[in-house]
Amino acid sequence: MFSLNEKTTSANNVPQQKLQALIIGRLVVIFLLLVTSWIWYSGSFQLTLDDFPAGPFLVFVVSVGLTAVYFLLSRLSRSVEWQVRAQFLIDALLITWLVWKTGDLTSPYITLYIVLIGVSSAFLRPRPTFLMALICVAFFLTMAILTGLAVLEPSGTTQTTPRVIQITSFHTIAFLVVGLLASKLSERLSSGEQLKEATKTLANLQALHERIIESIRSGLITTDLDGNIYTFNVAATEITGYKADTMQGRSIFSLFGNIKQPIGLSLDSPESDQPPRFETDLVTPDGFAVHIGYNIAPLFSEDNERSGLIITFQDLTEIRSMEESIKRKDRLAAVGRVGAGLAHEIRNPLGAMRGAIQVLESNTPPDSVQADLMKIIMRESDRLNSIITNFLSYAKPKVGSFSEIDAGEAVRETIKLLRHSPEVTEKHVINESVPPNPVFVSADSTQLKQVFWNLARNSINAMPDGGNLSIKLELIPNNRVQFIFEDSGVGMSPEQVERLFEPFSNSTSGGTGLGLSIVYQIIRDHDGVINVRSFEGEGTVITIILPRTAKQSVVADTQGIHDTSEPTPLTDYLNVKRESEISS
């Protein structure tokens, strides 16, 4: 898991590394100083022990011992700052001792004070750096005064008082000037380090911010004041089907439609109240309608000024589908309760009426008006009996007999029957696309053919003046098959599509509306999915997706009533989704 502390450890190691570099670098510099002093005292590169500088050598030996102590302290204590200050203080004492031993005011090693002040700027803050310069001045002046008063034995030539004042003043001014410059350099270095740390922290915060946004399972979109999108998280891509790189810079209204009124209501609502919730439909790139619920909140800048909008939304399509499925099941349960008794009460007098009419018809002249009326009564009684039969099929469906069948053969048989149907004219063009190899699915052959027949007849009836009907079967991933029925008929409005599978809904083909309700039920019992896309005047596309291995489920009990005493599995609610395109 990402954490802001992931890079903190390496950042904390930087002072330790700088401390070690200071320890090793000091030892290297003193060694080089020892070698150059030896060459300087010898006057040539032919070095002899007689010219070996005792003072720098003693400083080198002490530094080797101090190096071991410094490394030990760096391991024992993680507090770097006090160690650096202590080391620079000891360095100033060693330089003062070296200067005293090598000629005091005339020593060539006085320059080491300046080197020490300059190096301290890389390790200390501005004030401690200038304080280091003051300490060097104090040590140097103290050494000069003590040697001048003969408290310490001078090692150089005796200087006159004006000369001593001149030398000490010159070096004091030089130390202070270098200290001021070094403190400024330290300030620049410190600002650079702070800027680097701030940049790292900002980068970590930005990464954390991005991960939080991408981890939210609700769609999240941020826009500017003009509604142009500049944040589009992963969940928003999953819900809408649009990718973030294609949506950035586009207007929010191109995705959500005209939502100016919801924006106004959200921005005008008091901050203490729960933000209002709205619902709308949007169309995915594949043409499916997704029902979403969304909230709108203002986006504020660092100056607490309103700089844009934050829109969070969730996909409510499945929830609404479950709600509709539950309502449909409740209606079906109510229909089932009265279905058997109502059908019995209607069919008994209908049978008596039909028998009486047949008796009267035998004693009536064939060309009389009474005979024509009796034919109308017989035809309408047959129609009423057909409605009752379909009603019983819907209220009390038969238990499916599942077996492995060739879905392609079922489609071909349906098309063959359809071509010989009196409803199909020369103006109707039927195209089929079925794989040459068998496509086996576990299904009820009779029920599956009933589905194909109902959908095909509906498509033909939706094209009274002729048109094209395309029936396609194809294999799709996840071991599923897909059936597509596409016609160029009159199409349907979104409201008609919404109620398409409800019993006794308004049918575009002029039927009772029970045929598609039975289709819906059969597809659900086969653990399938049915999608409907339709535009008025442009035709309809119905897509059925079935698993190649279906579960055999008991559809109804012996009384023709769906058992509502036990909870219905959630998968039953999600089996069939109805989608419609919504024209803008």
Q: Which residue has the higher pLDDT, 392 or 237?
A: 237
State the pLDDT at residue 289: 78
Q: Which residue has the higher pLDDT, 14 or 327?
A: 327
Q: Is the dihedral of CA 354, 355, 358, 364 positive or negative?
A: negative
CATH superfamily of 216-315: PAS domain (3.30.450.20)
Tell me the pLDDT tens digit for each residue of 274-288.
778 898 888 888 777
Check whether 248 has a pLDDT greater than 60: yes
The domain segmentation of the chain, as residue ranges, is 8-206, 216-315, 321-395, 403-574
Q: Rounded CA gap, 427 and 464, in Å?
A: 9
State the pLDDT at residue 272: 62
DSSP E strand boundaries for 514-575: 529-535, 539-547
83-92, 343-352, 430-439, 457-466: the lowest-pLDDT one: 343-352
Q: Rounded CA gap, 221 and 510, in Å?
A: 45
- Of the chain, the percentage scoring pLDDT greater than 90 comes to 13
Count of Cβ atoms closer than 10 Å to residue 414 Cβ: 22
State the pLDDT at residue 514: 65
Q: Which residue has the higher pLDDT, 334 or 195?
A: 195
513 sits in the region (left: phi over 0; alpha: psi -120 to 50; else beta) called left
Count of Cβ atoms closer than 10 Å to residue 19 Cβ: 20
Closest CA to 338 of 395, 267, 415: 395
Taking all residues of the chain, what is their mean pLDDT, rounded to a whole number? 79
Q: Rounded CA gap, 239 and 225, in Å?
A: 24
Q: Is the dihedral of CA 267, 269, 275, 280 positive or negative?
A: negative
Q: Rounded CA gap, 84 and 73, in Å?
A: 11
- In which band, very low, low, confident or very high, does the pLDDT at 584 lie, cut at 50, 70 and 90? very low
State the pLDDT at residue 333: 67
> Contact, 223 vs 309, CB < 8 A?
yes
State the pLDDT at residue 582: 30
State the pLDDT at residue 411: 92
Percent of residues in the chain assigned helix, strand, coil, to nearest 5: 55, 15, 30
Check whether 574 has a pLDDT greater than 50: no
Q: Which residue has the higher pLDDT, 20 or 41?
A: 20
Q: Rounded CA gap, 447 and 581, in Å?
A: 28
SS3 per residue for 301-336? CCCCCEEEEEEEEEECHHHHHHHHHHHHHHHHHHHH
CATH class of residue range 403-574: alpha beta
pTM of the model: 0.42
Highest mean pLDDT among 74-83, 299-308, 478-487, 542-551: 478-487
